[in-house]
Structures are given as C-alpha cells and as structure tokens.
Chain A
Amino acid sequence: MGTLKILIVEDDPVTLSLLAKRLRKEGFEVETTHDGDDALRRIAGEPFDVVLTDLLMPGETDGMGVLENIKRLYPHTEVILLTGYISVESAVEAMKKGATDFLTKPINFDELIIRLNKIDDMRALIKAATDLRNAMEVTEKSAADTIQELEIMLSEFRSAFSEVRDALTEPHTHSQDRIDKALNILQPLVN
C-alpha cells in the first residue's frame, strides 16, 4: 500500500493512462501531465514525492530537463526516468544528474511497484532518522542550557571562595572585619 504522491509525465496518452490507473490501484496518489513544461509548473505549485517522467518528449523540456530542474529546485523529490531505449551513456548521465532510477518500456509494472515501495521505505527511514535527530536536538539543547548555567555558576562560586579565603586570612585586620568582609562576598551567592 503506497503512500507516495506521484506525478507522471508522459506524452503518450495510452501509456499515461495505463500507468496512472495501475499506480492508483496500488494506493498511490497520482497526478498526470503530458509535457515537461507543465510538469515543472505543477511541481512549483505542490510538492511530489516521486516524478515518473518519459525521457523523450516534445516541447521545451524533455525528461532530462525535468530531472535537472527538479534536482536543482526540489532535491527531496525522487525522479524515475522512463524510456523506450536507454543507452549506457544516457543512463549514466541520468544517474549522475541525480535520477533515482530508470526503467525501459514496455514498463514492467511489478518492477516499478517494487522500486516505488523501496522509495517509500527509504523515505520512512529518513523521516524516522529526522524525527530522532530533532528529538535529540531538543534534549541536547536543554541539557546544554543546564550544563552551561552550572558551569558558569561553579566558576563564580570558585572565585568567590578564593576571595573569601583571602578575606579571612588577611593580615593586620580585626577578626570581626574579616568575617564581615567574607559574609559580604558570600551574600550575592546565597540568594
């Protein structure tokens, strides 16, 4: 059962509707568009977990353009490229540019769903790690405040104690004066 929000970018209407139908059946939230420029407009309006895009499309922005723009602007979004034929060079180029995966057409739906579920698992792990880190930061911050407060307080106490020692051992002074002076030093620390 998928929880991912997916945008499919595909200029062939048959493939597009087939993909959308199948992924919706798996429980994914799916939106569709048939060109790269519209895909970029859509992504600017709302966040997607995954963008499944055809590599070759008419118009200004092809699949590689979609990939580049997404990785630049929305690094959290995973991109899977779909293509009729993929050469090793373009596959390497796509991975270099940050594509999560690429699949050749005709699409093997089982394979696609396994890969999407892997992305889902990975995102859940990332979320767990982020939550844990946030919890740790809160604890660390609170511990730091306490420790730093104590550190300063102890340092002030230490210097006051050495002043008290000096006051009490001051030569040629009446003992009552020495005690009064020592008490004066201690006064602000008592409150």
Chain B
Amino acid sequence: MIKINPDEIKIISQYIYQITGIALDEKKAYLIETRLSGLIDEHGCKSYLELYHKAKQDAGRTLERKIINAMTTNETLFFRDHSPFELFRHKLLPELIDKRTSKSFPNSPITLRIWSSACSTGQEVYSLAIVLRELLPNQTKYNVKLLGTDISDKAIAQASYGQYNKFEIERGLDRDKLERYFHPNGSHWKIKDDIRAMALFKKLNLMEPFNSLGKFDIIFCRNVAIYFTLEDRKKLFNRIADVLEPDGYLVIGSTESLTGICPRFEPQRHLRSIFYQLK
C-alpha cells in the first residue's frame, strides 16, 4: 500500500473536508490510506497527490463521488440500538398522531413527515417503515412521508434498491420480521414493495443547504455529526432546528450530546432513551 506523506495528508484531508464535511487530522493518515488505496490502484496513481489532482480535474466528478463513497462509513444495521425504535413506536409516533389528529379535519388524512438524515444503506429507514406499518395498519388514514438521505450515492443506490446480503440481514432482524417484510432474491433478501413504497431516498450532503426539503415532524440524525468539527456540528443542528416543526422531535445517536452544541434543543427522557424538542 502506498504511504501517504505529511504534505499529502494536509491536502487530502482538506479536500475530503470540502467534499464531505468529514474532519480528519494527521492521526487519521491510516484511515486515508486504508480507504483510498483501492482507488489509487484502480486509477493507476503513484501518489495520493496524483489521485487528488485527477479528482480535481474530473469535470464529471466521478472520481469525487468514488472518494466520497470510500471515505464515508456505512456502519448501520436494522433497528440499530433498538431503543430509538422503541421510542419511535411507543412515544414519538403515538404522541405525534395524537397532536396531529386534534389539529386536522375529521376524515382527512394525517400527514407525518419523517427524515432519516444519514440513512446509509437504508436500514434505519426500513426499520422505521416497519414500525409505521405495524403501528398504523390503516395506511389510508395517514399520509406518511419517509425520507432517507445520505452523502454517498452508492449507499443511496443500495438503500433505494432495498436488497441486503445475509450478513446485513442477520444484524438486527428477527426471523419473523425477515419473512414478513422481505422476500428472498437468490442469496439476498429484498424489501417487499409495500414497505419500499413508503420511503423516498435522495442524495444529500448535510454540509449543504437542506431547507428545500420542507419541515419535518421527526428527524433522525444519528452517528453522523460525530465526524464533523464542533463548529460544523453547531451549524448543522441549528439548521436542523430550522426544519423541525415547533412540536417535532429530534433523535440523535445514543452516544451523542447536544450540550454546548445547540441551545435551541432541550433533552427529554422517555424510559431509557433521550430525544430532543425545541424549547
């Protein structure tokens, strides 16, 4: 594997920051090497600098997309951590439906807008869709908009296709859910059409404006801000506050905190989970 030198680390990490918002320091040289060495070989580059120049010169941005795909972490699983989905099922969704029902006209469908802001290969979105399906059997009464976004077009493509290998399936899905919501497709499993139809996937860099997505009732922003600088985290959660309905809910990763990040949010406890609401 070609070694990266200190000058290259500066240039490459600055470039990665520009295109992804991911903050890397000199200590993360190994991460750049392990993630990008494949592209170095694939493009016949002799150094990381050469790869950088190739990426900058590529007007079609294909190489830039490949670098984004390589540098972003897609660690995810169905019902990751369990507790956010229990929170969603037992607290957020019932409470939200209650609030929206009292506001809407009788017999008109209730709109629920949910955003999984760093959805990776789609597991979080489909886990939410499954909970929605189980909790709201009468889908015609509700107009559910479930949006999944991610910076990696490769991850979004897989999410959109909704197909998973046996390792991905094994993580977090019990037999019953697997058979109810997926169908076998060769050695893979594919999400069933009715669950797939509940979700919409889009490529989005959280460092860029997202006001145009509209407002959301529930936002999941889990385990993505950890890769950003403190300043960028502050900006991100402030912009998330802008697109959250005044009585909406925000769920962040179980080891993340908003203390000192965004004073507009207030933590609330429900059993063993925490969620945030605007003050």
Contact = CB atoms under 8 A, between A and B. Distances in A.
A98 interface: yes
Interface of A: 71-72, 75-76, 95-98, 126, 140-141, 143-145, 147-148, 150-152, 154-155
A96 B254 CA distance: 38
Contacts of B81: 140, 144
B46 interface: no
A175 to B, nearest CB: 30
A147 B186 contact: no
A126 B167 CA distance: 9
B187 A96 contact: yes
A150 B186 contact: no
Interface of B: 81, 166-167, 169-170, 184, 186-187, 254-259, 266-267, 269, 272-274
A150 B267 CA distance: 11
A150 B256 CA distance: 11
B258 A151 contact: yes
Contacts of B255: 140, 143-144, 147
Contact of A96 (B169, B186, B256): B186
Contact of B257 (A95, A141, A147): A147
Contacts of A155: 259, 266-267
A154 B259 contact: yes
A151 B259 contact: yes
A152 B166 contact: no
Given A144-B255, A147-B255, A152 B267 contact: yes
A129 to B, nearest CB: 9
Contacts, number: 48
Contacts of B266: 155
B260 to A, nearest CB: 9
A12 to B, nearest CB: 28
B254 A140 contact: yes
Contacts of A141: 254
B187 A152 contact: no
B112 to A, nearest CB: 26
Contacts of A72: 184
B169 to A, nearest CB: 8
A121 B258 CA distance: 43
Contacts of A154: 259
Nearest to A148: B274
Given A140-B255, A141-B254, A147-B254, 17 more contacts: A71-B187, A75-B170, A97-B186, A126-B167, A143-B255, A144-B81, A144-B254, A144-B255, A147-B255, A148-B273, A148-B274, A150-B257, A150-B259, A151-B267, A154-B259, A155-B259, A155-B267
A147 B256 contact: yes
A154 B265 CA distance: 13
A98 B269 CA distance: 45
Nearest to B274: A148
28 contacts: A72-B184, A75-B166, A75-B169, A75-B170, A95-B186, A95-B187, A96-B186, A96-B187, A97-B186, A97-B187, A98-B186, A98-B187, A140-B81, A140-B255, A144-B81, A147-B257, A148-B254, A148-B269, A148-B273, A150-B257, A151-B257, A151-B267, A151-B274, A152-B274, A154-B259, A155-B259, A155-B266, A155-B267
A97 B269 CA distance: 46
Nearest to B77: A133
B170 to A, nearest CB: 8
Most buried by B among A96, A145, A148: A148
A71 B166 CA distance: 10
A150 B259 CA distance: 9
B279 to A, nearest CB: 10
For the complex of A and B, the 4 pairs showing the least CB-CB separation, nearest first, are A144-B254, A98-B187, A96-B186, A143-B255
Contacts of B273: 148
A147 B267 CA distance: 12
Nearest to B276: A151
B271 to A, nearest CB: 11
B215 to A, nearest CB: 24
Nearest to A146: B255
A151 B187 CA distance: 44
